[in-house]
Amino acid sequence: MGTNGKLSLTIDGKEVLAEEGMTILEAAKENGIHIPTLCHHPALSNWGGCRICVVEVDGSPRLAASCVTPVRAGMNVVTSNEKIIESRRTILEFLFAERNHNCMFCPQSGDCELQNLAYELQMDHLTVSFSFNEFPVDVTNEYMVLDHNRCILCGRCIRACQEIAGAHVLNFQNRGPQALVGFDLNEPRESSTCAECGVCMQVCPTGALYNRYRTHHAVKGHAKERETIPSFCPQCGLLCPTVSFVGENTLLKVEGELTGSDGRPDRGQLCHKGRFEVFKSGGKRLERPMILEKNGDWAAAGWEEAVKMASERLTSIREKAGAGALFGLTSSAVSNEELAFFRDLLVEGFGAGYVDTLDGRHFRTVTGAWKGIGEELKEASWKWIPDSDFVLIIGAEPRKSHPLASLLIRKSMKERGTKAAIVGETESVYPFISAYLPVKDAAQPFLIQGLLGEAAARLGNPGAAPTRVDIPKMMGRIGLDGDAEKIFHEVVEAFVTSENPLIIVGEQLIGLKDGSALKDTFKLALLRGLLPENTSRVIVLKPYGNSAGAWKLGIPSDNGPPEKAQWRGGLILLNGEDPLKAPVLGEVKGMDFVAVITPYFPHMPADGAQLLIPKPAWTEQDGTFASLDGNETAYKRKILSGPEGVKEGWQTLWALSDGIGYRPKFKGWDELSSKVKW
């Protein structure tokens, strides 16, 4: 035994120390000795399949795979000699000869570990003849392709699917040369239970799994010429850490932080939104300010001209028709900085009578529902999901709105036996969801009332429920048959007997104007007590990426729009949404002047706005975003440069302030940013 609880061994003639339980590969790496690997991945379990990392141990003719061989005191390891190199090269040639590794046609060329290894081992020709077998290509998915012709069966994708995603969708099929990676019981991707998280693709060392939105992305240059930018995904509030790869101001790929995921329960997973949707266009880019002409056409304008026009027209509405005639509306998908500045400018600068967010109503329903029963409570974090043994999903569709949360639920179901039940209609139901009560929005209140009543009764606390519902009658009323009643009772049973239940509510429920069903849901959750730190057992899935930030900053209006709003004009800040879909606004047609600051041509009738001012897309801007539960924030870095000449959102707001003589409460971006952090 060596010193300090370490043991000593010899690697390539050098005596080194290593911790017990380490593999030879780890010990070598720690001592700066490089051993090539292929099936090994630091975020995955050790596999020992490809045998590229073989080394000689104690002179034995039988070589050991260093990635799986534990160190032993006194071990003598040689990582490179003629025999080892010969073996590695032959194994590599075997891999190249096995399937159709034609780098020329491979969308991953230039960003491929197999290719790099061939360069490293100086494989300039093959002594093993090609097999020229034809393997299937699965192109059924819109994001990813699985091309078995480029697969080296290293099993990384399978391990990632099992160990990181916990999805257990991928596994090996068949034996010998027929072995393939397959989805479920050899289904095509689209009919399988795969949730397209793409972690398989991220760990794939070759072009077997590649992103259809960015094929051949590395052809022009190798990895070293790319910029890697660590950041966060702001799209849903789970604030998943990302690493973005950018070359020539083009986003090449987005990866999850598999090795540095900081103990997050997702282990650095991403969902299809964070990994793939970012590559999709958000709409027609707005590159210059546009003014609506009399004939209904848009005419390009200069930025100063546009800012001047907006300042003047909005001021004039307020001056002519009073504060009540002017509104401000913002998306909740923009950064805290933009939100705060927008509110200040509208309220204090322009003196607008009404400022709200696109998800204002959701905000008011949620706060209203908590009123009197738990205003002081914190919302549960999504990070609680793996600790829960029963997840009740009501009026939510996490698979669509917060995919990673849904992936975590699935992982718990598969690995821990967690049960999950869904109340409300949803498009995607995992086959292994234990209970599903598909009720329409309007019917939910009755059902939830029923759940609350039964659960309260089962828990010996009937007082907690206002009324005890006649269940068979209620079921009949909401149009569910007898089988559903059994399921209903199973859900109640699971909820009251589980050790650590969680309730997830989403847009279908919090989007209702009437908050009573939500209130009953909160009451239901409270029946099972609180989580530590005064935290409720409810996760509220909010509509926009930074809803929690907007809500915590108090941007949405507390009271909602007045009964008969007399709006003549206003300013809208968007991230590409359709503002008319927000329940607040209703109709903008016929107003005197509406200006929209947006990265894309907005989804609204042309005469709904008179002025469009461009801003960068979210990938092109820095900014702070809040987590779903509002308890954390993250500073998202800018990944790409926006179109030339397009000012950032805050710069436009700043210019508007200048235009009307309003003095912002900060001197520049850094101060603004530091002010909104909490």
Partner 1 sequence: MPKLKVEDLYRIKGEVLRSSVLETGKNNVRITVHMGTCGISSGADKVFQALNEERDACGRKDIIVTTSGCAGICNREPLITIEKAGEEPVRYAEVDQEKMRQIFQGHVLKGEINPEWVYARGWEQKEMEFDGPPAPVMDHTSHIRQIPFFGMQEPVVMRNRGLIQAERIEEYIGRDGYFGAAKALFQMSSDEIIKEVRVSGIRGRGGAGFPTGMKWDFASKSRGEIKYVLCNADEGDPGAFMDRCVLESDPHAVLEGMIIAAKAIGSRQGYIYCRAEYPLAVKMLNLAIEKARNHGLLGKDILGSGFDFDVEVYRGAGAFVCGEETALMTSIEGKRGMPRPRPPFPAIQGLWKKPTILNNVETLANIPQIIVKGGKWYAGMGTLRSKGTKVFALTGDVRNVGLVEVPMGISLGTIIFDIGGGIQSGKKFKAVQLGGPSGGCVPVTHLNTPVDYESISQLGAIVGSGGMIVMDEDKCVVDVARFFMDFCKDESCGKCTPCRVGTQKMLEILTRICEGKGKEGDIEKLEKWADIIKNTALCGLGQTAPNPVLSTLRYFREEYEAHIREGRCPAVVCPAFFKTPCMHACPIEMDIPSYLALIKANRLEDAYRVLLKTNPLPSTCGRVCDHKCETKCRRATLDEAVGIKTLKRFITDNASRPPVERQPVTRKEKIAVIGGGPSGLTAARDLALRGYAVTVFDEYHEAGGMLRWGIPAYRLPREVLKQEIEDIFNLGVEFRGNTRVGSDVPWKEIQNTYDAAYVAIGAQRSAGARVEGEDLEGVTGAVEFLRELNLGKTPAVGERVAVIGGGNSAVDSSRCARRLGAKEVTILYRRLKEDMPAQDEEIQAAEEEGIRMEFLATPLRFVGSNGRLQSILCQRMTLGEFDESGRKKPVPRLGDEFSLDVDQVILAIGQEPVFSFDMEDAGVELTRRGLIAIQKGKKTATTSPMVFAGGDVVTGPDTVVGAIAAGHRAAEEIDQAIREKNGEAPYVPVDEKIDIPMILEEEVREIPRVCQLESDCGERVKDFREVELGFTYEEALREAGRCLRCDIEAE
Interacting residues toward partner 1 by CB under 8 A: 46-52, 54, 61-63, 65, 68-70, 86-87, 90-91, 94-95, 97-98, 127-129, 131, 152-153, 155, 171-172, 174-177, 179
Alpha-carbon distance of 186 to 254, in angstroms, equals 28
Alpha-carbon distance of 384 to 25, in angstroms, equals 35
Rounded to the nearest whole angstrom, what is the least distance from the CB of residue 63 to partner 1 in the complex? 5
Rounded to the nearest whole angstrom, what is the least distance from the CB of residue 420 to partner 1 in the complex? 22
Cβ proximity to partner 1: between 173 and 498 the closer is: 173
Using DSSP, state whether 112 is helix, strand or coil: coil
Alpha-carbon distance of 488 to 284, in angstroms, equals 47
Rounded to the nearest whole angstrom, what is the least distance from the CB of residue 116 to partner 1 in the complex? 17
Cβ proximity to partner 1: between 174 and 497 the closer is: 174
Cβ proximity to partner 1: between 135 and 298 the closer is: 135
Q: By the 8 A CB rule, do 17 and 6 touch? A: yes
Contacts of residue 208, defined as CB under 8 A and 6 or more positions apart, other chains included, come to 146, 147, 148, 149, 150, 151, 152, 157, 181
Neighbours of 483 (CB within 10 A): 9
Which helix (H) or strand (E) segment is 330 a member of?
strand 326-330
Q: Point out which residues pair with 614 in neighbouring strands.
A: 598
* Both structure tokens of 179: 């072995």
Rounded to the nearest whole angstrom, what is the least distance from the CB of residue 60 to partner 1 in the complex? 9
Rounded to the nearest whole angstrom, what is the least distance from the CB of residue 50 to partner 1 in the complex? 5
DSSP string, 191-232: GSS-----HHHHH-SSSSEEETTSTTTTTTS-GGGSEEEEEE
Place of tokens 């009764």: 457
Q: By the 8 A CB rule, do 386 and 164 touch? A: no
Rounded to the nearest whole angstrom, what is the least distance from the CB of residue 67 to partner 1 in the complex? 9
* Both structure tokens of 457: 């009764």
Rounded to the nearest whole angstrom, what is the least distance from the CB of residue 37 to partner 1 in the complex? 12
Rounded to the nearest whole angstrom, what is the least distance from the CB of residue 640 to partner 1 in the complex? 40
Burial class of residue 10 in the structure, from the number of CB atoms within 10 Å of its CB (0-12 exposed, 13-18 middle, 19+ buried): middle
Place of tokens 């639920």: 409
* Both structure tokens of 281: 């266009």
Distances (CA, A) of 663 to 317, 364, 394, 572, 623: 20, 30, 45, 20, 21
Q: By the 8 A CB rule, do 421 and 393 touch? A: yes
Cβ proximity to partner 1: between 47 and 276 the closer is: 47
Sign of torsion over alpha carbons 259, 262, 264, 265: positive
Amino acid at 423: V
Amino acid at 264: R
Rounded to the nearest whole angstrom, what is the least distance from the CB of residue 170 to partner 1 in the complex? 11
Alpha-carbon distance of 628 to 352, in angstroms, equals 29
Q: By the 8 A CB rule, do 450 and 471 touch? A: yes
Q: By the 8 A CB rule, do 662 and 654 touch? A: no
Cβ proximity to partner 1: between 181 and 240 the closer is: 181
Cβ proximity to partner 1: between 59 and 661 the closer is: 59
Cβ proximity to partner 1: between 95 and 306 the closer is: 95
Rounded to the nearest whole angstrom, what is the least distance from the CB of residue 127 to partner 1 in the complex? 7
Cβ proximity to partner 1: between 60 and 122 the closer is: 60
Cβ proximity to partner 1: between 66 and 627 the closer is: 66
Rounded to the nearest whole angstrom, what is the least distance from the CB of residue 91 to partner 1 in the complex? 5
Cβ proximity to partner 1: between 80 and 215 the closer is: 80
Rounded to the nearest whole angstrom, what is the least distance from the CB of residue 86 to partner 1 in the complex? 7
Rounded to the nearest whole angstrom, what is the least distance from the CB of residue 2 to partner 1 in the complex? 19
Rounded to the nearest whole angstrom, what is the least distance from the CB of residue 48 to partner 1 in the complex? 4
Alpha-carbon distance of 141 to 225, in angstroms, equals 30
Contacts of residue 499, defined as CB under 8 A and 6 or more positions apart, other chains included, come to 389
Maximal CA-CA distance, the chain: 93
Amino acid at 343: R
Rounded to the nearest whole angstrom, what is the least distance from the CB of residue 414 to partner 1 in the complex? 13
**What dihedral angle (degrees, nearest 10) is formed by the CA atoms of 507, 513, 518, 519?**
160
Residue 616's nearest CA partner among 564, 570, 581, 652 is 652
Cβ proximity to partner 1: between 100 and 575 the closer is: 100
Cβ proximity to partner 1: between 90 and 534 the closer is: 90
Alpha-carbon distance of 211 to 428, in angstroms, equals 23
Alpha-carbon distance of 486 to 149, in angstroms, equals 49
Cβ proximity to partner 1: between 86 and 671 the closer is: 86
Q: By the 8 A CB rule, do 399 and 195 touch? A: yes
Please compute, for residue 519, the number of CA atoms within 13 A of its CA located in the half-sphere on the CB side: 17
Cβ proximity to partner 1: between 154 and 612 the closer is: 154
Place of tokens 């008011």: 364
Rounded to the nearest whole angstrom, what is the least distance from the CB of residue 20 to partner 1 in the complex? 13
Cβ proximity to partner 1: between 185 and 460 the closer is: 185
* Both structure tokens of 2: 């060596």
Cβ proximity to partner 1: between 69 and 141 the closer is: 69
Which helix (H) or strand (E) segment is 72 a member of?
none
